């Protein structure tokens, strides 16, 4: 990459202005970038080109891809609602290899360990690069500079924004669905592979040139409710199985048993109570990890104790949120992703458990979204620095091993809290500067560790609210000093000059770049 394509952005990071030969905009600051132009649109279709009886069935995924015009250099998208149980994405690129197609871009809403076989297609040239989260082996492959093109990492809302704006043009979207009819109407609520919401595939269905729905549960027309509308679908394919049920349900939805993490959860809940954040009609979002789940349970106990009710909880839904809904502790679950079978059941049965999508919840290039309306959001991070900047995509060794998910989008909430252990495996979590900036420090409000709570100096209101509490409030510098005293000064990762991936902010600008790890 030439030096003249690198610039310093608003958070002081050197980032590319060309990504895979496409111009990009460096991060300008929170709320500073305004898009121009109009939303992307597909070529106007005609009903004359589709069967009058609505039957869009084709015999196989291979035939559907051929009919959709699969060729070199196309961008192919998939969704991740099946998580580590996905059986379709790998098949797409196996078929492409069989057909001799090269140079494809894979644009998943997320990847999982089950997608490791795509490394073979990256090595053979069938896949050129990935625009989506790269976890595990795929992240390591990218971090070591082995991918032909630059990876592009976006949040869930940023992915919708990029597709909507035409920044990420999808040639063929393949949407795996637990239930669908021959017309292409589809949902994730019924069948042996029911996964709940299909919201992460919404943008793909709306803006891709060609859309293929793949199901293992063909329903008579109409398949109700239609989370994916058949009017946007070109072909429907029936296969034996779209996902492995026991791997669809997230393995992270268990309350932590770790005493340290339970202490973190309890301290976070105490902070929320003493800062006056838990009140009648408040709203919250917590992740599906063990610590976050525990915090949600503490929230439920506090609501019961004080006779309060939450107006809505944003999901990822799970059995604990469902219990809160059914006990009347929250009025609504606004569900973007369903993490267990109780969540799927509730989404099917309870009208107050509502399917959402990145458009409604997270898309920054819309006329507002739900994220900024949430009172409290509980998130994780791999690192935080003295300026409260946070990292979620790389570890302190520089390896790219996580996706962004909805993390960046949630930073718009009124109070953002990161409960984190002070160190992991003798490596301090608080750094002088994070390896990769995913979220600017001005949007991170509170860091909760087992050895103290750091409140961003920008939030004087929170500092005042807990001034007379018994909580162990410290400066972030004090926490870092303590971590370094225990663990020693952390080593810096050995990184080269070569950029292997770009991290986009919620508005499509480039907030940081991931550099090659020198092994």
- Outline where 231-316 has alpha helix (H): 245-248, 259-274, 290-306
Q: Which residues pair with 130 in a beta bridge?
A: 106
How big is the CA angle at 98 (ends 95 and 100), to the nearest 5 degrees?
A: 110
Claim to verify: residue 193 and residue 67 sit in the same structural domain:
yes
pTM of the full structure = 0.96
Mean pLDDT of the chain: 94
Claim to verify: residue 75 and residue 222 sit in the same structural domain:
yes
Claim to verify: residue 404 and residue 462 sit in the same structural domain:
yes
Cβ count near 240 (within 10 Å): 6
Structure tokens at 356: 């959402």
Q: How far apart are CA 393 and CA 401, in angstroms?
A: 6
Claim to verify: residue 486 and residue 449 sit in the same structural domain:
yes
- Rounded to the nearest 10°, the torsion over CA 233, 234, 238, 239 is -100
Q: How far apart are CA 175 and CA 134, in angstroms?
A: 19
The DSSP annotation for 434-455 comes to -SS-SB-GGG--EEEETTEEEE
- Cβ(448)–Cβ(419) under 8 Å? yes
How big is the CA angle at 168 (ends 166 and 174), to the nearest 5 degrees?
A: 115
Q: How far apart are CA 346 and CA 237, in angstroms?
A: 28
Question: β-pairing, 210-215 with 283-286?
Answer: unpaired
Claim to verify: residue 372 and residue 415 sit in the same structural domain:
yes
Residue where a domain terminates, one of 247, 276, 303: 247
State how far the alpha carbon of 166 is from the alpha carbons of 130, 252, 433, in Å.
17, 34, 33
> Nearest Cα to 317, choosing from 298, 290, 336, 296?
336
- Cβ(154)–Cβ(180) under 8 Å? no
Q: How far apart are CA 206 and CA 195, in angstroms?
A: 21
- Cβ(406)–Cβ(336) under 8 Å? yes
> Nearest Cα to 302, choosing from 329, 333, 334, 332?
329
Claim to verify: residue 388 and residue 481 sit in the same structural domain:
yes
Q: Return the pLDDT at 40.
A: 96
Structure tokens at 426: 């003798």
- Please, what sign has the CA dihedral across residues 407, 156, 493, 519? positive
| Spacing of C-alpha 271 from chain mean position | 26
Q: How far apart are CA 479 and CA 450, in angstroms?
A: 10
Which CATH number fits the domain that encloses residue 223? 3.40.1080.10
Beta strands in 195-270 (DSSP E): 210-215, 218-219, 235-238
The conformation of residue 161, written as its DSSP 8-state character, comes to H
Q: Classify residue 17: in a domain, yes or no.
A: no
Q: Which residues pair with 416 in a beta bridge?
A: 377
Tell me the HSE value of 28 on the side-chain side, using a 13 A CA sphere: 10
Structural domain count of the chain = 2
Claim to verify: residue 275 and residue 420 sit in the same structural domain:
yes
Name residues of the chain where pLDDT drops below 70. 1-4, 249-256, 287-289
Claim to verify: residue 317 and residue 460 sit in the same structural domain:
yes
Q: Is 304 helix (H, G, I), strand (E, B) or coil?
A: helix
Claim to verify: residue 263 and residue 242 sit in the same structural domain:
no
Q: Return the pLDDT at 267.
A: 95
Q: How far apart are CA 507 and CA 354, in angstroms?
A: 26
Q: Classify residue 22: in a domain, yes or no.
A: no
Is the bond preceding 225 in cis, omega lying within 30 degrees of 0?
yes
3-state secondary structure 308-339: CCEEEEEEEECHHHHHHHHCCCEEEEEEEEEC
Q: Classify residue 358: in a domain, yes or no.
A: yes
- Please, what sign has the CA dihedral across residues 226, 83, 333, 204? negative
Q: Classify residue 45: in a domain, yes or no.
A: no
- Cβ(159)–Cβ(96) under 8 Å? no
Q: Classify residue 46: in a domain, yes or no.
A: no
Q: Return the pLDDT at 4.
A: 53
Q: Return the pLDDT at 340.
A: 86
Q: Classify residue 84: in a domain, yes or no.
A: yes
Residue where a domain terminates, one of 207, 223, 247: 247
Domain that holds residue 342: 259-493
Claim to verify: residue 264 and residue 231 sit in the same structural domain:
no
Q: Return the pLDDT at 402.
A: 87
Q: Is 347 helix (H, G, I), strand (E, B) or coil?
A: helix
What value does the CA radius of gyration of the chain take, rounded to a whole number of Å? 23
Q: Classify residue 297: in a domain, yes or no.
A: yes
Claim to verify: residue 183 and residue 320 sit in the same structural domain:
no
Q: How far apart are CA 206 and CA 224, in angstroms?
A: 18
Q: How far apart are CA 42 and CA 46, in angstroms?
A: 12
Q: How many residues does the chain have?
A: 519
| Spacing of C-alpha 435 from chain mean position | 20
Q: Residue with structure tokens 């098949």?
A: 91
How big is the CA angle at 250 (ends 249 and 255), to the nearest 5 degrees?
A: 120
Claim to verify: residue 207 and residue 350 sit in the same structural domain:
no
Q: Classify residue 512: in a domain, yes or no.
A: no
Helix (H) or strand (E) holding 408: helix 407-410
């Amino acid at each position: 990459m030439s030096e003249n394509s690198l610039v310093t952005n608003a958070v002081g990071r050197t980032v590319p202005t060309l990504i895979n030969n496409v111009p990009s905009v460096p991060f300008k600051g929170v709320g500073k970038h305004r898009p121009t132009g109009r939303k992307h649109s597909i070529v106007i279709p005609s009903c004359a080109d589709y069967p009058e009886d609505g039957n869009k069935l084709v015999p196989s995924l291979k035939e559907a891809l051929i009919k959709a015009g699969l060729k070199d250099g196309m961008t192919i998208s998939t969704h991740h609602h099946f998580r580590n149980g996905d059986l379709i994405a790998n098949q797409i690129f196996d078929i492409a290899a069989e057909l001799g197609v090269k140079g494809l871009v894979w644009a998943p809403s997320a990847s999982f360990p089950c997608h490791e076989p795509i490394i073979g297609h990256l090595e053979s040239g069938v896949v050129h690069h990935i625009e989506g989260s790269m976890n595990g082996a795929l992240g390591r492959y990218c971090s070591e500079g082995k991918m032909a093109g630059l990876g592009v990492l976006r949040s869930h809302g940023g992915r919708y924004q990029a597709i909507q704006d035409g920044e990420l043009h999808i040639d063929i979207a393949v949407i795996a669905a637990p239930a669908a009819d021959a017309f292409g109407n589809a949902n994730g609520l019924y069948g042996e592979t029911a996964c709940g919401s299909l919201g992460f595939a919404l943008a793909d269905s709306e803006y891709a040139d060609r859309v293929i729905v793949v199901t293992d549960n063909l329903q008579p027309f109409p398949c109700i409710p239609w989370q994916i509308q058949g009017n946007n679908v070109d072909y429907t394919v029936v296969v034996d199985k779209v996902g492995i049920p026991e791997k669809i349900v997230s393995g992270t939805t268990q309350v932590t048993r770790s005493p340290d993490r339970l202490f973190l959860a309890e301290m976070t809940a105490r902070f929320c109570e003493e800062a006056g954040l838990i009140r009648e009609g408040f709203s919250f979002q917590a992740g599906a990890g063990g610590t976050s789940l525990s915090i949600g349970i503490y929230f439920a106990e506090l609501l019961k104790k004080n006779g309060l009710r939450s107006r809505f909880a944003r999901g990822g839904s799970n059995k604990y949120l469902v219990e809160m809904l059914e006990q009347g502790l929250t009025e609504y679950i606004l569900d973007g992703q369903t993490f267990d079978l109780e969540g799927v059941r509730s989404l099917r049965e309870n009208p107050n458990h509502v399917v959402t999508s990145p458009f409604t919840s997270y898309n920054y290039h819309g006329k507002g979204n739900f994220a900024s309306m949430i009172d409290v959001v509980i998130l994780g991070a791999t690192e935080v620095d003295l300026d409260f900047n946070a990292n979620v995509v790389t570890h302190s060794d520089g390896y790219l091993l996580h996706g962004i998910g909805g993390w960046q989008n949630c930073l718009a909430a009124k109070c953002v809290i990161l409960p984190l252990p002070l160190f992991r495996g003798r490596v301090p979590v608080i750094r002088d500067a994070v390896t990769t900036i995913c979220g600017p420090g001005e949007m991170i409000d509170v860091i909760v560790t087992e050895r103290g709570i750091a409140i961003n100096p920008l939030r004087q209101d929170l500092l005042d609210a807990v001034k007379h509490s018994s909580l162990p409030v410290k400066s972030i510098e004090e926490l870092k000093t303590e971590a370094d005293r225990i663990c020693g000064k952390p080593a810096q990762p050995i990184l080269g000059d070569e950029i292997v991936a770009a991290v986009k902010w919620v508005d499509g600008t480039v907030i940081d770049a991931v550099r090659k790890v020198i092994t």
